[in-house]
Amino acid sequence: MPPTLRTARLLLTPYTPDDEDAFVALFQDTRVSRWMGDGPSPEADDRALFGRIFSKVYARDLFDVWAVRRAGRLVGHAEIKRTDAVDGHEIVYALAPGAWGSGLGTELAEALVAYGFETLGLTEVHATVAAGNEASLRLLGRIGFEHVRDIEEDDGGLTRVLTACPRSLRARSGPPCDRPR
């Protein structure tokens, strides 16, 4: 189970079975799901995904997944996990539209990155973002992520790979990490 993380306004906790309806509502909102994975899914698929968080991810301690809460209410989803697409650890986050525009996304992304560096001991953290998701690209750029390459998807879409390392977050200039790309 992932540890509980706190920011100034958010609480990241492991999901509980009672979170299912709020989780599904978050992923069924096309303003959110259009940027997640392969895009919107049928409700049954989102319910099955929620079940796998317990039956696989938590049961096998595969990676860290959190419910993102504000004032006791589920307002988002967060993960940090190893992925072959970036050959490293990637952060994944989503907030309900009602939480957009208030700096909570920045707060959430910074918490995930800090957890990656400080708790997991990572030397770099990645994010993959659809090229059209300008809000996330701006947010990640503001907190020190650098664009390192693009992935052309099977459907013709373009995904940006961004990387941050502790130095890039402090200096906010130059290449993010020393590793050759």
Q: Which residues pair with 80 in a beta bridge?
A: 64, 91
For residue 179, the tally of other CB atoms under 10 A from its CB is 13
CA distance 162 to 28: 26
CA distance 83 to 54: 20
What pTM does this model have?
A: 0.90
Q: Sorting pLDDT into bands at 50, 70 and 90, what band is 172?
A: very low
| Residue 120: pLDDT over 70 | yes
∠ at Cα 84 (139, 49), nearest 5°?
75
| Residue 44: pLDDT over 60 | yes
Closest CA to 111 of 81, 54, 63, 68: 68
Lowest mean pLDDT among 11-20, 34-43, 48-57, 134-143: 34-43
Decide: 36 and 136 in contact? Cβ < 8 Å.
no
Decide: 14 and 1 in contact? Cβ < 8 Å.
yes
Tokens of 114: 């800090």
Query: Mean pLDDT score of the chain, rounded to an integer?
Result: 91
| Residue 8: pLDDT over 90 | yes
Q: Sorting pLDDT into bands at 50, 70 and 90, what band is 168?
A: low
Helix (H) or strand (E) holding 25: helix 20-28
Q: Sorting pLDDT into bands at 50, 70 and 90, what band is 36?
A: confident
CA distance 94 to 26: 8
